[in-house]
Chains A and B, each alone.
Chain A
Amino acid sequence: MATDASYGNALAGGAQTAPSRTALQIVHEWVTTVDHKKIGLMYIVSALLFLVVAGIEALLMRIQLAVPNNTAVSPEAFNRLFTMHGTTMVFFVGMPILFGFGNYLIPLMIGARDMAFPRLNAFSFWCTFFGGILLYLSYVAGSGLAGAGTAPDVGWWAYAPLTAAPFSPGHSTDYWTLSVLLSGISSIGSAINIVATVVSMRCPGMKLTRMPLLVWLYTVMSMLVFVTVSPLTAAQIMLMFDRYLGSHFFDTQAGGSAVLWMHFFWIFGHPEVYVLILPAFAFANEIIPVFSRKAIFGYPAMVAASVGIGFVSLSVWAHHMFTVGMSAGSNTFFVLATMAVGVPTGIKIFNWLATIWGGRIQFTTAMLFSIGFLFQFLVAGLTGIMLASAPFDWQLGNSYFVVAHFHYVLVGAILFMLFAAFYYWYPKMTGRMMSEKIGKWHFWLFLIGFHITFDLMHIPGILGMPRRIYTYEADRGWMIWNLIISGGAAIQAIATIVFVYNLVWSFFKGKVAGPDPWDAWTLEWAAASPPPPYNFPQTPVVESRRPLWDIKHPEDADAYYE
């Protein structure tokens, strides 16, 4: 049996009265902090700011595409918009916000006082934050202010040779390269930190087989970051060499290879999707059981499936390259590898279903977003199977069908689980509950907007509309779909405003949460809300995967079954 005293202390050690400080002192404290919780929050807040910026970029694109031959946005500006939208969302929203939640939660969930390398942690955050600032500096400084600034316009994959000096004069591509390089350094630093923390900082009794699934998934994700961000970083440096030091890696006019860049980029770029989705799975693994009031179904299978996804995802990158003229044999291999990912992914969906089965589902906002995630991730997986079939991809690749597919993953699955994570852990982070009433408005509005936009977006792809075009012909039959899609985007924007309002309102007016508002089972709920510096007054000792369940149900403790 776990020692009640240690939890008791933590549960009791709640409100602290802070002495009043000047604004400068507060800023100084945040800027110099190495506390994993403060760094986690800074990651999350900075990612939210970039989310709003990149969201506005998406809205501008949807305004331009609402009708054919529109002139709301110039071609040059449009090309910058989709480049900045993609780069920002992946490198300065997705990665940081997920690392932010990981930073905040992992030490708490494994009963540790901080991350293994607190200063590396702060360094990683500031790298990615200034990386994002550097990227946006390009708008005012790209080719010098005389050119009124030029943001990168090479797409977020920055295919060679469009990035070569003759096709991309000025410095816009350099801003892209350097800021992505910074983001890469930051990600590798965070990944090292997470793995080191998980290996060396677990509290007594927290065997690997008892770690919360969230921690497992973040470990797999961090391993993937090592293997995949490194080639991207290498490629960025090679690109800089090409542009400034006269090398010819990707310079096709001097015998370089455009396809080489594609390999470098996608051996990062595809596992990157799993780097982003594994934390979303991680949130689902914590939230769905709590609001179904049941233990996760098939914990070992979930761990195995996650590790399996990690490995298989390293051998699927060239499914982004089915149209570049690989041999039939290579194409066939990548079809098989890609479809194989469907198996462990399927196991996860079935295990979540089995977790819900026989439970008592509580429809909190966090659970609603999780349920939305389950359905939408199912659809995203199935359209993924369609795209994995190389001949089908010869038609659908680079069309709006692909845009719809990966937004189903990034918005329908990842962003939905992020929203769920906000509603679920906000009480832990701030000590106050988010408003469930506003939350339900947020959920339903976002759900409607999401489906109007991204369900219908598959259709123009089928009708032959390629991505990254700033306008389109009127006679193709694409207009009606694009018009409705743009309307859906507006609804999503309104829902996002509701969400931000809820974040702010709840911070001041939300109900006081207490340490364990959801009657949950993992260690973070044993600490006060928000947890004090160094989290636990006494190091907890655990004897099962759900230490708080054991305390609450001594007659039916997990420890007996594992």
Chain B
Amino acid sequence: MLVLLIDSANLPQVIHGPTSIFSPAGTPAHSIFSLSMLVLAVTFCVFLIVASLLTYAIIRFREGRYKGEAEEPPQIYGSNQIELSWTVIPILIVVMLFLASARVIFTTQDATKPASSLDVVVVGHQFWWEYRYPKYGIVTANELHVPVSDSKNPEPTFLTLTSADTDHSFWVPRLAGKTDLIPNRVNSMWIDPPDAGIYLGQCAQYCGVQHAKMLIRVYADTPSQFEQWIKDQQKPAVQDASKQEGREVFEHNACISCHTIQGTVATGTFGPNLTHLASRDTIASGSVPLNAKNLREFIDNPAHFKPGVLMPSMHLSNHDLDAVTAYLMSLK
């Protein structure tokens, strides 16, 4: 099984990328990668053999070689031996590929969950991701933080997936295959990124107008980073007296019916939890970097970055916009 030894690093650069399935990181993506190399090798051999035979036949038996012969070629109606052989060989290939696939299906889907694993509940919304950490009492959005996991300290993250509205699909190609989020149903999958860093992905099941910008960012943190992140997220929202005016704008508008800010009157759950909004790198489900300018633009006209977004424009005055932007930017 030479192909199983192929390392992704040996593959040409052109098929690597931030979301390439051929740049695997972590156990599920790696086992799929090894299987895919086997399948590719087998199918490529089949292609080479059959395509060569076809090409040979087309060149060898072209009419031009028989100019002047009025006769029709000898008519051959079939041959049981030959037909039997090209029935049996494909059966053997199919059985081999089936067994190899079955092995990966069972080891991935029915993997035992170690005691050290982290549980995260992922809820798909039109058009953003909600992440809940039941053990830590944290609710956040769009940027999933998980610990790195290696063979010495395995700490895989088990995701429990469901949806609040339509079907979605969680796909971070470098970490694992995709699994759908379906309303009124609970699915699960697991990831174990071996290296710290950001892994990108996006919704892979058409879910409505803004399906395209339902991006995923997975932050694999070192153990100390992750611990710190948990501590920060567990704190109540920052209360900064100098941002009081913005807070009042927020609390006196419909913002609070959809968004939660821990420790305030804002307890809506239809939109992302904003308790630690300013600790995130991006807004609008990963489509733009978080900074005061983008945030102000987003609040003013949410459809500017994400046409079809369900958040309406509140038609705030410039003054109120500045105030509420400053308030939200203070929610570290």
Contacts and interface: CB of A to CB of B under 8 A. Distances in A.
B208 A162 contact: yes
A398 interface: yes
A162 B207 contact: yes
Given A259-B185, A343-B90, A358 B21 contact: no
A558 B47 CA distance: 34
B212 A471 contact: yes
Given A293-B73, A469-B212, A476 B83 contact: no
A167 interface: yes
B91 interface: yes
Given A297-B76, A391-B177, A395-B173, A79 B209 contact: yes
A237 interface: no
Contacts of B63: 360-363
Q: In this complex, which of A395, A476, A553, A558 has the most chain B Cβ atoms within 10 angstroms of its Cβ?
A: A395
Contacts of A252: 182-185
Contacts of A561: 75, 77
A471 B50 CA distance: 38
Given A76-B308, A361-B63, A259 B202 contact: no
Contacts of A332: 101-102, 105-106
Interface in A382-400: 382-383, 385-386, 388-399
Contact of A477 (B17, B51, B91, B177): B17
B305 to A, nearest CB: 11
B192 interface: no
Given A361-B63, A399-B204, A466-B171, A353 B54 contact: yes
A145 interface: no
Interface in B45-91: 46-47, 50-51, 53-54, 57-58, 61-63, 66, 69, 72-79, 82-83, 86-87, 90-91
B283 interface: no
Interface string A65-83: 0000000001110010000
B165 interface: yes
B201 interface: yes
Given A161-B166, A374-B54, A464-B173, A395 B61 contact: no
Interface string A310-332: 00000000000001110110011
B43 interface: yes
A336 interface: yes
A378 interface: yes
Q: In this complex, which of B82, B110, B166, B210 has the most chain A Cβ atoms within 10 angstroms of its Cβ?
A: B166
A4 interface: no
B91 A343 contact: yes
A464 B76 contact: no
Nearest to A82: B206
A386 B39 contact: yes
A257 B183 CA distance: 8
For the side of the interface on A, what is the size category? 35 or more
B205 interface: yes
Contact of B62 (A361, A385, A390, A467): A361
Q: In this complex, which of B35, B58, B187 has the most chain A Cβ atoms within 10 angstroms of its Cβ?
A: B58
Contacts of B17: 463-464, 476-477
A390 B108 CA distance: 11
A178 interface: no
B83 A328 contact: no
Interface string A393-417: 1111111000000000000000000
A459 B40 CA distance: 14
B233 interface: no
A75 B166 CA distance: 17
Given A353-B50, A462-B15, A359 B21 contact: no
A436 to B, nearest CB: 14
A357 B57 contact: yes
Interface string A286-300: 000000111101111
A301 B200 CA distance: 49
A356 interface: yes
A473 interface: yes
A332 B86 CA distance: 25
Given A159-B206, A325-B179, A462 B74 contact: no
Q: In this complex, which of A324, A331, A394 has the most chain B Cβ atoms within 10 angstroms of its Cβ?
A: A394
Contacts of A347: 83, 86-87, 90
B97 A161 contact: no
A252 B282 CA distance: 31
Contacts of A390: 101, 104-105
Contacts of B262: none
Given A331-B105, A391-B35, A398-B169, A360 B73 contact: yes
Nearest to A157: B206
A438 interface: no
Contact of A395 (B32, B40, B94, B211): B32
Contacts of A382: 43, 46-47
A462 B21 contact: yes
B209 A378 contact: no
B62 to A, nearest CB: 5
A477 B73 contact: no
Given A324-B187, A391-B101, A395-B178, A359 B205 contact: no
A391 to B, nearest CB: 4
Nearest to B94: A339
Given A75-B307, A466-B204, A323 B212 contact: no
Nearest to A326: B109
A470 interface: yes
A358 B76 contact: yes
A367 to B, nearest CB: 10
Given A328-B106, A335-B105, A385 B97 contact: yes
Contact of B50 (A256, A349, A360, A463): A349
A169 interface: no
Q: In this complex, which of B36, B43, B46 has the most chain A Cβ atoms within 10 angstroms of its Cβ?
A: B43
A350 interface: yes
A360 B39 CA distance: 36
A252 to B, nearest CB: 4
B279 interface: no
A360 to B, nearest CB: 5
Contact of A74 (B46, B66, B211, B307): B307
A462 B20 contact: yes
A191 to B, nearest CB: 29
A416 to B, nearest CB: 14
A351 B90 contact: no
Nearest to A470: B212
B177 A389 contact: no
Given A79-B209, A395-B36, A397-B178, A358 B82 contact: no
B47 A378 contact: yes
A253 interface: yes
B203 interface: yes
A354 interface: yes
A75 B209 contact: yes
A403 B286 CA distance: 25
A476 B18 contact: yes
A220 to B, nearest CB: 19
Nearest to B74: A358
A249 to B, nearest CB: 12
Contacts of A558: 75
Given A294-B73, A466-B171, A354 B82 contact: yes
Given A298-B77, A346-B86, A473-B215, 18 more contacts: A155-B206, A159-B206, A252-B183, A256-B184, A323-B178, A328-B110, A331-B105, A332-B106, A335-B105, A347-B87, A353-B54, A360-B66, A375-B54, A383-B43, A386-B43, A392-B36, A393-B177, A465-B19
Interface of B: 15, 17-22, 29, 31-32, 35-36, 39-40, 43, 46-47, 50-51, 53-54, 57-58, 61-63, 66, 69, 72-79, 82-83, 86-87, 90-91, 93-94, 97-98, 100-102, 104-106, 108-110, 161, 165-167, 169, 171, 173, 176-180, 182-185, 187-188, 200-213, 215, 307-308
